[in-house]
Amino acid sequence: MNYYSLNKKAPNTTFEDAVVRGLAPDKGLYFPESITPLAPSFFETIEDKSNTEIAFEAIKQFIVPEIPEDVLKTIIEETLNFDFPVIKINENISTLELFHGPTMAFKDVGARFMARCLGYFNKTNTKDVTVLVATSGDTGGAVANGFLGVKGVNVVILYPSGKVSDIQEKQLTTLGKNITALEVDGVFDDCQDMVKQAFMDTELTSKMQLTSANSINIARWLPQLFYFMFTYKQLKSKGKELAFSVPSGNFGNICAGMVAQKLGLPIKHFIAANNANDTVVNYMISETYNPKPSVQTISNAMDVGNPSNFIRIQELHNNDFDTLKANLSSYSYTDDDTKAALLELYNDFNYIADPHGAVGYLGAKEYLKEHDAHVVFLETAHPTKFLDVVEDVIRKSIELPPQIAAIMDEEKVSIPIGNYDALKSYLLH
């Protein structure tokens, strides 16, 4: 499988090169040359397959033979060593819990998968690779954990000072070894802009091998399609059409679900559930894409004003607005809406969600007002990662799970930076 740049000004390349580069030379996102649907029999018998078997069949066309089948199977087994339970909320709504991994966020899947792919490609490489990643919350911790101790890989994480939760900050600033946290005086978009600028800086890229572990990287993004298939496996016997309400920030997660749909997974519709950062909501109304500065909210991982992966979503729909509109709805909610949803889930269904899952729940309810389906909203992080918000709303103390409790007494180590020159100076030091 080769990959092409969505800017269409760079040569097509291999999976390995796409993973190692992160971005194409023309600064476009990589996209697979083709997506071949799986045989209908695969979905007809999906309940008889293990999660690792499902994942292998779903992703092998994008990766084999560059990574041999036996190695890919091992990578998948190591990536998926935790559960993906679907929890019933009511007759028409369920939630897919994606927080049972080591950092208790959905990004564990992509980060662990990418780290193992890069480790495989790097085993014969004498030159270190620097993974440069911007985070609005959970990406940093998942990437730090996934890449911790990987030979020949140094990880540099940029995060906005004061705009991630205390637990999220602990997860990306306490590991040491090959992980460095840069605390940026700004918002997530500033972090993301600095990362993009670094990739465009030829003085920098001529001296070091940079790659990205944000969802712009093909190996971070694609494996997220797995758990949409795992959901279908669990709910297939219900017999109702499935829709997914996905809390959306950089739009990589929902985009991966659309790849699963292209592979033949029977998904009726996607709902992009947004907080006050409503660039895509406005686009779906006006057909005018107008990125704007991000706004800080209590669902901080979605505080993205210019989602990188939306161009991939457009490509999946042949850049045709009407085709996209038939497959995607997008709604926006305030912090007050989110808090009300957290309380409703707790009081009415005895379910403790995190703020991002609560936004997904609101999207599910809104879609069901006019459509008949079973909607699954993605619960993307454990509620204790947003302890102050959740406990304040539901008026109940939540016990810290072991993965979180283990880091709370660790010392934060970060380097404050204010602009791109400071980032460049650090990278070249």
Q: Which residues are catalytic?
A: 107
Extract the tokens encoding 36.
């071949």
381 Cβ neighbours under 8 A, 6+ residues apart: 98, 99, 104, 105, 106, 137, 138, 301, 354, 356, 357
Tokens of 74: 């091992």
Asked whether the beta carbons of 382 and 399 are under 8 A apart, the reply is no
Taking alpha carbons only, the member of 293, 256, 297, 245 closest to residue 276 is 297
Q: For residue 199, which of 210, 189, 188, 190 has the smallest C-alpha distance? A: 210
Short-list 354, 275, 287, 348, CA closest to 319: 287
How many residues would you count in the chain?
A: 429
Please tell me the chain's helix, strand, coil percentages from 3-state DSSP, rounded to the nearest 5. Answer: 45, 15, 35
Q: Round to whole Å and give the CA distance between 429 and 418.
A: 17
- Contact residues for 177 (Cβ-Cβ < 8 A; gap 6+): 148, 149
Q: Which of 380, 238, 237 is nearest to 302 (CA)?
A: 380
- In angstroms, rounded to a whole number, what is the distance separating the alpha carbons of residues 397 and 391? 6
Q: How far is CA 106 from CA 36, 109, 200, 289, in A?
A: 26, 6, 29, 27
**Cβ count near 169 (within 10 Å):** 22
Please give the backbone phi and psi of residue 332, each rounded to the nearest 5 degrees, phi first.
Answer: -125, 145
